[in-house]
Amino acid sequence: MMKLSASGGIRVICTIVFFFAAFAVTGQEVLLSDQEAYYDTLALTGDAERSYLSFRTLSDSRPVLPEGDTGPWNGVKKAEQYSLGAIDTRIYGPDLFASYNSNAPLGQNDGLLWQGRGANMSLSAGVRFEGYGFEAILKPVIACSQNAAFDLASPAAAYANQPFTDKAGVWGYPGVTYIDAPQRFGDDAVYDWSWGDSEIRYSWKTLTVGFGTQSIWLGPARINPLIHSNNAPPYPKFD
């Protein structure tokens, strides 16, 4: 991760929050959003059609709503969509998430964002172009965390020796010897970015081929899916 000083991290958070406070920040069908939960409900009651209920990505989360939608969000403008000749265009976001943890880090299914102690924020926006069988989505994410200090528990005894003494020997959890279980990411504020739910894909009839970094949610769960999730930053993949 790229790192800033604590004061620099706070400046990043404040600048972005104040800038986007002037806009109406709305979300589309990102994983676990209120919008997606609404579509899931309509699909389960038979009032909408979804391609999948147990396999979800940003690209797949496009339900077919019936004419005369009678759901509680009937008439609400759900997305900015345009047509440029044979090319369909859609605007995503901006989506702004902010949290403040007063005592210790806490967060789940938040993708790139590390919700440490103190102020945390992630911001994402993007656009999708679709036509002639191709679909291209650019939806990067930036995230920052104050990552303020708090009292750490004593790490597992396995971390007491080299090469862990100044790493997991300081930040590791007690009783846990996994490399991906730190209590805190160092002493400084944390800033990072990723391509988020970006992807390029070609589809023809039942054939689809794509490459990107979209998060995959496999299974019907709302917190812990069978495999994959958006609990960690996305990674490049081909399918």
107 with 126, same domain?
Answer: yes
Q: Is residue 200 part of a domain?
A: yes
Q: Is residue 20 part of a domain?
A: yes
194 with 138, same domain?
Answer: yes
89 with 142, same domain?
Answer: yes
32 with 87, same domain?
Answer: yes
pLDDT tens readout for residues 53-70: 677 787 766 666 666 666
Q: Is residue 170 part of a domain?
A: yes
Q: Is the pLDDT of residue 15 over 70?
A: no
Distance of CA 102 to the CA centre of its chain: 22
Least confident span in 10-24, 44-58, 66-80, 225-239: 10-24
What is the structure's pLDDT at 177?
A: 67
Q: Name the H helices within the chain.
A: 6-20, 34-44, 168-171
Q: Is residue 70 part of a domain?
A: no
Query: 117, 149 in Cβ contact below 8 A?
Result: yes
Q: Is the pLDDT of residue 117 over 80?
A: yes
> Cα-Cα-Cα-Cα dihedral of 106, 109, 110, 115, to 10°?
10
84 with 201, same domain?
Answer: yes
Count CA atoms closer than 13 A to 215's CA, side-chain side.
22
Least confident span in 8-17, 128-137, 186-195: 8-17
From 163, 183, 203, the end of a domain falls on: 183
Distance of CA 142 to the CA centre of its chain: 10
49 with 102, same domain?
Answer: yes
Least confident span in 20-24, 42-46, 120-124: 20-24
What average pLDDT does this structure show over 25-30?
42
* Number of domains observed in the structure of the chain: 2
pLDDT band at residue 24 using 50, 70 and 90 as cut-offs:
very low
> In terms of Cα–Cα distance, which of 196, 195, 163 is closest to 179?
163
Task: Extract the tokens encoding 234.
Answer: 């996305």
Q: Is the pLDDT of residue 9 over 80?
A: no
pLDDT band at residue 78 using 50, 70 and 90 as cut-offs:
low
Domain hosting 225: range is 2-65+78-149+188-238
Helix (H, G, I), strand (E, B) or coil at 182: strand
57 with 90, same domain?
Answer: yes
Q: Is residue 169 part of a domain?
A: yes
pLDDT tens readout for residues 171-201: 777 776 666 678 888 889 999 999 999 999 9
Query: 94, 25 in Cβ contact below 8 A?
Result: yes
What is the structure's pLDDT at 61?
A: 65
44 with 160, same domain?
Answer: no
> Do strands 207-212 and 189-194 pair parallel, antiparallel, or not at all (unpaired)?
unpaired
Q: Is residue 113 part of a domain?
A: yes
Cα dihedral sign for 178, 235, 110, 141? Answer: positive
Q: What is the mean pLDDT of the chain?
A: 78
**Beta strand residue intervals within 33-155, DSSP E:** 55-56, 80-84, 87-101, 118-131, 134-138, 141-145
